[in-house]
Amino acid sequence: MTELEQKISQTLEDTRQRNALLNAVKRGRDSRANALAEIPGGDSFRQDVQAIKQRCIRNLPELLEKFTENAEQRGAKVFFAKTGQEACDYVLNLAKQKNAKLITKSKSLTTEEIELNHPLETAGIEVVETDLGERIIQMAGERPYHLVFPAVHKTTAQVAKLFSEATGEKVESNLKDIMALMRRSLRPYFLNADIGITGANVAIAETGSLLIETNEGNGRLVCAIPPVHVCVMGLEKIVESIEDALKMIFAHPVSATGQLLTTYVSFFAGRSPLAGQEEREFHIVILDNGRMKMRSDNWFEEALHCIRCGACMNICPTYGVLGGHVFGHIYPGPIGIPWTAQVHGLDNAAKFSDLCISCGLCKEICPADIDMPMMISKVKNQALENNPQPLANKIFMASETFAKLACVTAPVSNWMMGSAIGKLLSEKVLGIDRQRSLPEFKRRTFKKRFKASRQKESESRGKVAFFVDYFANYISPELAISATDFLEKAQIKVELPRQRTSGYPYISYGELGKAKKTAEFNVAQFLPYIKEGFALVTIEPTAAYAFKQVYPKLLDSSGESVLVAEKTFEFFEYIAKLMEEGKLLLPAQIRETRTFGFHIPCHQRAGSSAKSTLKILQSVGLDVQVIETGTCCGMAGTFGLKQGPLGYDLSTTVGEPLFEMFKESEVDAIITESSVCKMQLEDGTGLQVVHPLELITAIEVF
């Protein structure tokens, strides 16, 4: 068992900590969703944030120069640190010059990045974190667990014990008493600090000023009272104007905690006189530490758009049960993988990059629309140079070859895979967990069964180039037949171009070269059809996601890949389009007494969000309700098939809250359009799981 697997196993056994984390990240997601439901435009602010970050990172050298000039005109001393060591040395030398004995700090992820406290404390200087979460972490001798909620894994009783030990004052394990002690114990530090150190949420080039957001007010006390204020900030925090900054002020709290504004928003530019202090200095340390290298890298430049809101951690399925001490180095969570690779080294990132299961939800929720899934895949790809691909991953990436053999030898292959000895051998040899229920392969694949369209172009209402993908070809050909038959009844001309499966396992496991070849092949095969007016239609959400989101990235947004992406539709999305155009009617009402819970697969959330599917199902009389936790079911393609902690164990733990929600809803069956989600939900709930195509195939269309 690897070190990562050991950490996973230990963490999964700690039910209390896991439940505390799950509740915290769910609160973050729910609060954000509630806020977006109330504000005009919903999450449209993401477009503004993305545009601001793109523009400012593109113009960064000029903005750095402008910010430095304006900050120095206001009396600040600006130091550019190429490395974390240079930044630490500057602050330490300043502290020695000032004969500092006590330093107070406001929450700063950048000082965590360079581990600034260590050299200061080694030099005999007392450093006190004044943010509640950071103070708890400091007393516990740990690293932050989350970007926004650094001590979310601690219980009230644990926190009370830490404060009692640190202060020598007994405190009861309730929040009110803990906060009262926090205030009393910090007051002398605030009043007697020699230096105050902060980070910055935003730096404004046109004014040379800094902006700090807090909910506790400690940031203002750290900045205002000591004779010396030092701000350590990453150079990516610089924006051009006050207008830019105001938009960021909104994006930060909404994305992080669902607040429309943090309790304290403070602007700092220079320093005003204060009675009893002859000199009041303001030092700004602007940190590079790999950032300019990231800026010049087409794969990782987007990481500089991160505004440190922590939303990606609140939605990440595996982070939500493991937390930042397993899923992270210093920067935790999804964005922590590319950031760690760039500022702390590829080896450190590789230690936890496999915890990304490529669900894509981090991009969906990110206020800057950062393509974290593809950056993480790139990190995995780079890590392969020193960390060979595990055998199980190789086998899953060769699943199409395996499927062809299994279909040819069916039903014997199904009997072998389903037997006790077969499951044991599959676990030992192939790495497929014996507890996982496997679907059966069909001897006659969809491609063998498909008959060319009988529709003449003059009679057709549309033209479809059908993409079948793995499950619908090898395991559930009857679904693909249902889809093409439905289109035929609707007078849609259907063709089946040459194609390979979408290749998404290559993305999941970092084999970007193979993924690119798959993308090139599939785009090339479908392009002639698209140019002739066909729409690419698939019943598998992950396939649609690959064509629309992944292939253009792999192919450098080539005109061909973008054109194919624009004409790619999920099956029900295409049916809804025909109905909107008046080309199709579904007048029939399905006689169905069952109630259904609907699961939206992760990759579908980035596309249609199943809106078309739900609308159609409800229009024909089905009783359907969406049941979601807000994150992934945990299956994540082939990830949930793998044996052990970094596979089946983690997958099923991620899925537990969703399983319980379905059971508590008392629905009769589950509907989902994802073949792999179907496997997970059947195993986890014991309920029947159906594809919506199974419910509408008997409908007459007009």
> What is the share, in percent, of the chain residues with pLDDT greater than 90?
84
Closest CA to 207 of 79, 307, 77, 74: 74
pLDDT band for position 702 (50/70/90)? low
pLDDT attached to residue 653: 97
Name the DSSP letter for residue 236: G
Task: At 422, list the tokens.
Answer: 């077969």
Handedness of CA 254, 259, 260, 263 (dihedral sign): negative
pLDDT averaged over every residue in the chain: 94
- Determine the 3-state secondary structure of 277 from DSSP: strand
- Look at residue 73 and tell me whether its pLDDT is greater than 60: yes
pTM: 0.94
Instruction: Supply the pLDDT for residue 69.
Output: 98
Give mean pLDDT, residues 20-31.
Answer: 92
Rounded mean pLDDT of 6-15?
Answer: 95
For tokens 């940190």, what's the residue? 287
Average pLDDT over residues 421-439: 91
Query: In the structure, what pLDDT confidence band is assigned to residue 50 with cuts at 50, 70 and 90?
Result: very high
3-class DSSP string for 287-344: ECCCHHHHHCCCCCHHHHHCCCCCHHHHHCCCHHHHCCCCCECCCEHHHHHHHHHHHC
Of the pLDDT bands very low, low, confident and very high (cuts 50, 70, 90), residue 457 is: low
Which structural domains are found in the chain, ordered by start? Answer: 1-38+299-386 (1.10.1060), 39-287 (3.40.50.10420), 391-430 (no CATH), 446-580 (1.20.1050), 595-696 (3.40.50)
pLDDT 10s digits, 374-388? 999 999 999 999 888
Confidence band (pLDDT; 50, 70, 90) for 272? confident
Percent residues over pLDDT 70 in the chain = 98
Beta strands 209-214 and 264-268: pairing type?
antiparallel
Between CA 140 and CA 152 the distance in angstroms is 13
How many CB atoms sit inside 10 A of residue 408's CB? Answer: 12
- Bridge partners (DSSP) listed for residue 264: 214
What is the 3-class SS of 170-221, one letter each residue? CCCCCHHHHHHHHHHHHHHHHHHCCEEEECCCEEECCCCEEEEEECCCHHHH
Res 453 pLDDT > 70? no
Interval 268-272 mean pLDDT: 88
For residues 347-364, average pLDDT: 96
| Lowest pLDDT segment from 187-201, 528-542, 580-594 | 580-594
Q: Considering only CA atoms, which of 236, 365, 230 is closest in space to residue 290?
A: 236
List the beta bridge partners of residue 670.
597, 689
How many whole angstroms separate alpha carbon 39 and alpha carbon 257? 15
Other C-beta atoms within 10 Å of 296: how many? 8
Q: What is the pLDDT of residues 179-225, one digit of tens each?
A: 999 999 999 999 999 999 999 999 999 999 999 999 999 999 999 99
Average pLDDT over residues 361-383: 97
Do 318 and 354 form a contact (C-beta atoms < 8 A)? no
Looking at residue 585, its pLDDT comes to 84
Residues 518, 554: contact at Cβ < 8 Å? no
| Distance (Å, whole) CA 178 – CA 184 | 10
Tokens standing for 232? Answer: 């350590």
Average pLDDT value for residue range 144-159: 89
pLDDT (0 to 100) of residue 700: 63
* Rounded Cα distance, 646 and 2, in Å: 10
Provide the pLDDT for residue 430: 87
Residue 664's H or E segment, with its range, is helix 650-665
Average pLDDT over residues 615-620: 92
Which one-letter amino acid corresponds to residue 266?
S
Has residue 4 got a pLDDT over 60? yes
The pLDDT of residue 696: 86
User: What's the confidence (pLDDT) of residue 335?
Assistant: 97
Residue 9 in tokens = 């196993």
Average pLDDT value for residue range 594-612: 95
- The Cα 657–Cα 321 span in angstroms is 11
Residue 284 has pLDDT above 90, yes or no: yes
Split at pLDDT 50, 70, 90, the class of 701 is low
Output the pLDDT for position 459.
67
Identify residue 196 by its one-letter amino acid code.
G
Give the whole-angstrom CA distance, residue 32 versus residue 557. 32
Give mean pLDDT, residues 13-41.
Answer: 91
The whole-angstrom separation of Cα 324 and Cα 148 is 11
Q: What's the pLDDT tens digit per position in 293-323?
A: 999 999 999 999 999 999 999 999 999 999 9
